[in-house]
Amino acid sequence: MRNDTALDLRWPAKFNEIPKEVFHRADVYRLELQRIFAGPEWHPLAHVAEIPEPGDLKTGFIGEVPVLTVHGDDGVVRVFANSCPHRGTQLKTCARGRADKIECPYHRWTFTNRGALIGAPGMGDFPQDFRKEDYGLRVIRSGQSCGLVFATLSGEAPPLDDYLDDTGEHIARAMGGDGRLNFLGYQKVSFACNWKEYSDNEGYHGPLLHAAFRMLKFSQGEGTQFMTPHAHKVNSATLTVPKASFLEDSSVVEGRDPKLAPHNIIVSLFPVTIITRNLDVISIRYAMPISPDETEVHYAYFAHADDDADLVKHRVRQASNLIGPSGFISLEDGAVFNRLHVGAHSEGNVGFQKGVKGRIEAPYTLDKGDEAGNLIRWEHYRQAMGFVRD
């Protein structure tokens, strides 16, 4: 069988093996931008808590396509291409900002924050058939779940609710039950790895890589771990957190949210976004592929609208210590992402073993501590990319 792409790449017949080439080949990366990032997938761009007021906006990327998420003065949040419909100039360069109007600096074309063209200098000299209505900001299809704004570059993506499968209740629980959040800030980092290495984390490594997991004696209780048909992964379990006696100040690892007993909730949406709730830390990790060899991750953190001042302070302290690129139970992830990427330049395939009992299909429930679920992500990836098994 031939791949239905022009790429010369052999995909192993064994279901649990992945060719290392996909982690660094430039031609594979270009095809991913077309078939996955511009393909029929939805991409979280911002939570409304990051742009709470009319006029607030946030820039971002879907793959390498620059986008603007704008809270319009009519209260509607829209996603636009961050590119002037005239000559294509990038419109906004700030990470987050405010704009009553959006003006392109090049020729001063000006748009409302709902995206309509207000005017352009010298319009009297434009072609007779020029119509302002045709030159609004390019609208990108968007939708919301629990206040999280998603967008897709593809007309073929299923409706957002269908796409999210059964992740909804877990996303809601991670976000305080209803997604009424207040934004606390970002941590941003670049990893020297491919986006698929960044997003290939699983439950097997947790207590093995992360010494703090063992030292804190975290133990997962009631919960579930499953894969959905659109290759999303949900890991949600209660957490027993003994007093951290090895720390001088263990208050940063206490669970204090009166509305949710300590939980570990990780919703990994295909392809790269991860929504987490670890103890009282509410976080969305937005990730952007920069090249085959670099992935930039923005960790956004939130409090819940009903929190009192003490609980907000606790969430800030916990988020600034526990999770994230320099978090004391998570820093090692970054080390492994980078080391995976160096190792991927050696010959052959990577193999998944823990929990693999033959070929699996979604929906699929995993034992906690297994890595087999990621094979459903990989099967979704293989099919989207048109690679054919040997």
Partner 1 sequence: MIDGETLARIDALQSRYIRALDTKNLAAWSDCFGEAASYICIARENEEQNLPLAIMMDDSLARIHDRVKYVTEIWAGTFEDYQTRHFVQRIECVPRATDLVAVESNFLVAYTSARGRSEILVAGSYQDEIDLGHGEARFRAKKAILDTVTTPRYLVYPV
Q: Where are the alpha helices (DSSP H) in 168-261?
A: 168-174, 195-198, 206-209, 211-216
Stretch that binds partner 1, among 120-128, 156-164, 178-186, 254-262 (CB under 8 A): 178-186
**Minimum gap (Å) between residue 23 Cβ and partner 1:** 18
Q: What is the DSSP letter of 160?
A: H
Decide: is 156 part of the binding site for partner 1 (CB under 8 A). no
Strands 101-103, 65-71: pairing kind = unpaired
Q: Partners of 300 in the beta sheet?
A: 186, 284
**Minimum gap (Å) between residue 187 Cβ and partner 1:** 6
Identified binder of partner 1 from the candidate list 100, 129, 248, 310, rule CB under 8 A: 248
Stretch that binds partner 1, among 102-110, 167-175, 227-235, 331-339 (CB under 8 A): 331-339
Stretch that binds partner 1, among 27-35, 195-203, 312-320, 354-362 (CB under 8 A): 312-320
Q: Strands, DSSP E only, in the chain?
A: 17-19, 43-47, 56-62, 65-71, 77-81, 96-98, 101-103, 110-112, 117-119, 139-145, 148-152, 181-191, 219-227, 233-240, 263-269, 273-278, 281-291, 294-304, 349-351, 364-365
Decide: is 191 part of the binding site for partner 1 (CB under 8 A). yes
Q: Convert residues 194-213 into a mask of x (bound to partner 1 by CB under 8 A) and - (unbound).
A: ---------------x-xx-
Six-digit token string for 70: 């704008």
Length of the chain: 390
Decide: is 42 part of the binding site for partner 1 (CB under 8 A). no
**Minimum gap (Å) between residue 205 Cβ and partner 1:** 11
**Minimum gap (Å) between residue 211 Cβ and partner 1:** 5
Decide: is 98 part of the binding site for partner 1 (CB under 8 A). no
Identified binder of partner 1 from the candidate list 14, 34, 136, 183, rule CB under 8 A: 183
Would you state the torsion angle of the CA atoms of residues 4, 10, 14, 16, taken in this order, to the nearest 10 degrees?
Answer: -90
Q: Partners of 278 in the beta sheet?
A: 264, 281
Question: Integer distance in angstroms from the first to the last C-alpha of the chain?
Answer: 8
Decide: is 245 part of the binding site for partner 1 (CB under 8 A). no
Q: Which of residues 213-232 bind partner 1 (CB under 8 A)?
A: 215
Q: Partners of 143 in the beta sheet?
A: 150
Nearer to partner 1, 91 or 319 (CB): 319
Which residues of the shown chain bind partner 1 in the complex (CB under 8 A)?
95-96, 183-192, 209, 211-212, 215, 246-249, 252, 296, 301, 316-317, 319-321, 324-326, 328, 331-332, 334-335, 338-339
